[in-house]
Amino acid sequence: MATFGWPEFFFILRSAGWTLLLTALAFVIGGAFGAALAILRLSENRILRGFASGYILVIQSIPVLMVLFMSYYGLSLFGIELPAFFAASLSLSIYVSAYLAEIWRGSIESVPFQQWEASSSLALTRAQQYRYVILPQALRIALPPTVGFLVQLVKNTSIVSVVGFVELSRAGALVNQATFLPFQVFSVVALIYFLICFPLSRLSRHLEKVMHAGRRH
Amino acid sequence: MSRFKFEAVWAEFDTILAGVGLTIALSIGAIVLGSVLAVALVAVRTLLGRWAGHLVDAYVELMRNTPFLVQLFMIFFGLPLIGVKMTGEWAALLAMTLNLGAYASEIIRAGVDSIHKSQLEAGESLALTRWQVFRYVILKPAFARVWPALSSQFVLMMLASSICSFIAVRELSGVASIIEQNTFRSFEVYIVVTVLYLALALTLKASLLWLGGRLFPNTSGLARIEAKGSAV
């Protein structure tokens, strides 16, 4: 039976890098897609609006695990055999897009509607309204909950271990199988997650205070 | 592309239904027990001293900043080593309760913080005991106010119960992977199970909305009074 020494510790620590990479990829890809969904959700076209809200509702009402299985097995059905890493990033991006779209829609909607009226009376196009008037204000409101959601994302990357991808929690499970020292192993794993997530949680709360100070109500 | 074959999945429908049953049981169990834990945590934080409050804070931060999966592993693999043996189902229920309790206490606390100090003074001047003030003046209005946020957290927990399949609990996604291994109809199995989760989530959402209306019938009236008060 192996012991829980430095090699095992560094194995776990290295795999935290994969967790961070997955988080970053899913955030960037899912964020881009989520931004588009948020705009669609607020579009004047009923079909586009319906599509976006349907997508958001469905993804928010099924487990991330199912999104993962569906993209993993769904793609292989079409003859596309993706490495676990791609299936993992794809499914996490889908998950991220639905939640960020909803957060960002809320932020855009909380910009007072007079801002829309004022900017359209200046003959700005809808794209210009977003670019110069609405989004700069919405961004301030969106920042704290977005950072808060990042914490959820970091934690949810743990479930992609089920398709065999070795990230932080899978590394922990492997070391646990070899050492049978669950308390030590999972404490280290939990601690690493905590060291990633806790500063983000605090940052989110701090931003909430700072951003609120600028707005009078 | 191979054609879809759902027959193999329908043949196992009893197994799937049993999985649905366990998912519902785990979720309702965790919602009830988690809420009790959350109220206890808020009570400790509100009624006891500063050190107890710090302990509660530490617990909440620990649960909120580590993945549910790791908490589940810790309980399932770790507790037997210190003599606490339990089946996967009980480990799942325990992990869900501890996790949901932390999140729910944070939500309820926000509700408690929103209760104005004058309300407490009013309660005290009516000669209510500390406990009575906590229960009727703080807790109930706080619950009413945060019910929507609490409901979403409950739905998220139901969805997260799928993670319990990692420790071979035969809830909905657990039975899905068993059927998948037996039939090799991966996509068909998961599409059926995904639709079932969707139905469960929407039903739970609707039920919680209905329950909120029954439990806190005067919320809208309360909110109106609040709005007037803040305008003055």
Return the pLDDT at A95. 96
In this predicted structure, the answer to whether residue B22 has a pLDDT above a threshold of 60 is yes
Please answer whether residues B92 and B168 qualify as being in contact, where contact means their C-beta atoms are separated by less than 8 angstroms.
no
Please answer whether residues B58 and B214 qualify as being in contact, where contact means their C-beta atoms are separated by less than 8 angstroms.
no
In this predicted structure, the answer to whether residue B135 has a pLDDT above a threshold of 60 is yes
Q: Measured between CB atoms, does A140 come within 8 Å of chain B?
A: no
Mean pLDDT score, B183-190 = 84
Chain A closest CA to B26's CA: distance in Å? 15
Chain A closest CA to B126's CA: distance in Å? 33
Per-residue pLDDT of chain A (217 residues; tens, 9 = 90+): 577 888 889 899 999 999 999 999 999 999 999 999 999 999 889 999 999 999 999 999 999 999 999 888 877 777 777 788 888 999 999 999 999 999 999 999 999 989 999 999 999 998 999 999 999 999 999 999 999 999 999 999 999 988 888 899 999 999 998 898 899 999 999 999 999 999 999 999 999 888 875 554 4
Chain B closest CA to A78's CA: distance in Å? 6
Taking residue A6's Cβ as centre, other Cβ atoms within 10 Å add up to: 8
Contact call for A58 and B198, based on CB within 8 A: yes
Return the pLDDT at A71. 86
Return the pLDDT at A108. 93
Report the residue of chain A nearest B197, measured CA to CA. A62
Structure tokens belonging to residue A154: 């970091």
Return the pLDDT at B104. 96
Across the interface, of A73, A169, A176, the residue whose CB is closest to B187 is A73
Distances from the Cα of A6 to the Cα of A168, A185, A195, A196, B158, angstroms: 16, 12, 19, 21, 38
Longest Cα–Cα distance in chain A: 74
Provide the chain B residues 36-65 that lie in CB contact (below 8 A) with chain A.
61-62, 64-65
Provide the chain A residues 38-67 that lie in CB contact (below 8 A) with chain B.
58, 61-66
Distances from the Cα of B158 to the Cα of A54, A75, A143, B40, B179, angstroms: 20, 27, 28, 22, 21
Q: Measured between CB atoms, does A162 come within 8 Å of chain B?
A: yes
Q: Measured between CB atoms, does B197 come within 8 Å of chain A?
A: yes
Confidence at B224, pLDDT banded by 50, 70, 90: very low
Distances from the Cα of B141 to the Cα of A146, A161, B43, B147, B229, angstroms: 29, 42, 15, 10, 16
Chain B closest CA to A196's CA: distance in Å? 8
Return the pLDDT at B66. 96
Q: Measured between CB atoms, does B163 come within 8 Å of chain A?
A: yes
Q: How far is CA B34 from the centre of its chain?
A: 6
Distance CA B59, CA B113 (A): 19
| A161 φ, ψ (degrees, to nearest 5) | -60, -20
Chain A closest CA to B205's CA: distance in Å? 9
Across the interface, of B160, B176, B201, the residue whose CB is closest to A61 is B201
Amino acid at A3: T
Confidence at B3, pLDDT banded by 50, 70, 90: low
- Between B55 and B217, name the one with better pLDDT: B55
- Chain B residues with CB inside 8 Å of A173's CB? 73
Q: What is the pLDDT of residues B53-101, one digit of tens each?
A: 999 999 999 999 999 999 999 999 999 888 888 899 999 999 999 999 9
Q: Measured between CB atoms, does B230 come within 8 Å of chain A?
A: no
Q: What is the pLDDT of residues B25-45, one digit of tens each?
A: 999 999 999 999 999 999 898
Return the pLDDT at B1. 47
Give pTM, 2 decimals: 0.89
Across the interface, of A62, A65, A76, the residue whose CB is closest to B163 is A65
Q: Does the structural domain B7-231 have CATH classification 3.40.50.150?
A: no
Please answer whether residues A201 and A151 qualify as being in contact, where contact means their C-beta atoms are separated by less than 8 angstroms.
yes
Chain A closest CA to B50's CA: distance in Å? 21
Return the pLDDT at B60. 96
Confidence at B103, pLDDT banded by 50, 70, 90: very high
Spatial neighbors of B147 by CB under 8 A, at least 6 apart, are: B208, B212, B215, B216, B219
Return the pLDDT at B211. 93
Distance CA B27, CA B56 (A): 24
- Average per-residue pLDDT for chain B: 88
Fold assignment, A6-214 = MetI-like fold (1.10.3720)
Across the interface, of A66, A186, A198, the residue whose CB is closest to B74 is A186
In this predicted structure, the answer to whether residue B225 has a pLDDT above a threshold of 50 is no
